[in-house]
Amino acid sequence: MILIIHRISAVIAMACIALFFSSTIIVELIGAAESIVIVKSLIVWPGLFILVPSIALTGGSGFVLSKSRNGKLVERKKKRMPFVGVNGIVVLVPCAIVLDRWASAGSFDTQFYMVQCLELFAGAINLMLMGMNMKDGLRMSGRLGSSPIISR
Ligand code: HEM
């Protein structure tokens, strides 16, 4: 059961960040101001209300699963998770809220694009860390190349 929760929450969290990231880039490159306002608003609601609990659930279920595991793969996953969480709470959430406010007020100035760059950078870092955790998780469960016995 915990493994199923871990799998589902991990996929939802990664999909959210990938979706926020790609939709932001697409809409800001080719979209009208109204479309940017809509995307920025959807990222906050319902976006963050899906992303934040799914990151917490992924980390929580991962730590429960890791009680019966040791080895370098699980240790690496444990070390990465605080960065994913802190990056999400300290950078991604405030950036998303501020960008939504500024976009709905129509202020697409230098400040907006600086915060937007920061948000994209933090999103890319989180995607990379989560991707590495996913790869190590799949290795641990023997779904990616190496045997689960060797990688435990
Ligand atoms: C965003 C972060 C994370 C992602 C994307 C992620 C992803 C995954 C994936 C895809 C699997 C394979 C599940 C399967 O067999 O289908 C997995 C397994 C696992 N994960 Fe994570 N994980 C994350 C965080 C963590 C954390 C923080 C821990 C705790 C240290 C953890 C511990 C485990 C363990 C122990 C397994 C192996 C379960 C088993 O086969 O018995 N994960 N993870």
Share of the chain above pLDDT 70, in %: 95
Rounded Cα distance, 50 and 11, in Å: 12
Domain boundaries, the chain: 2-151
H helices then E strands: how many in the chain? 7, 0
In short, whether 72's Cβ falls inside 6 Å of ligand 1 is: no
Rounded Cα distance, 42 and 36, in Å: 10
Please choose from 16, 51, 52, 65 the residue to mutate so as to test ligand 1's pocket, defined by most ligand atoms within 8 A of CB: 65
Q: In the predicted model, is pLDDT for residue 3 greater than 60?
A: yes
The confidence score (pLDDT) of residue 149 equals 47
Q: In the predicted model, is pLDDT for residue 148 greater than 90?
A: no
- As assigned by CATH, the class of the 2-151 domain is mainly alpha
Q: Of 2, 5, 7, which is closest to residue 138 (Cα–Cα)?
A: 7
pLDDT in tens, 82-103: 999 999 999 999 999 999 999 9
pLDDT in tens, 99-143: 999 999 999 999 999 999 999 999 999 999 999 999 999 999 999
For the entire predicted model, the pTM comes to: 0.92
In short, whether 37's Cβ falls inside 6 Å of ligand 1 is: no
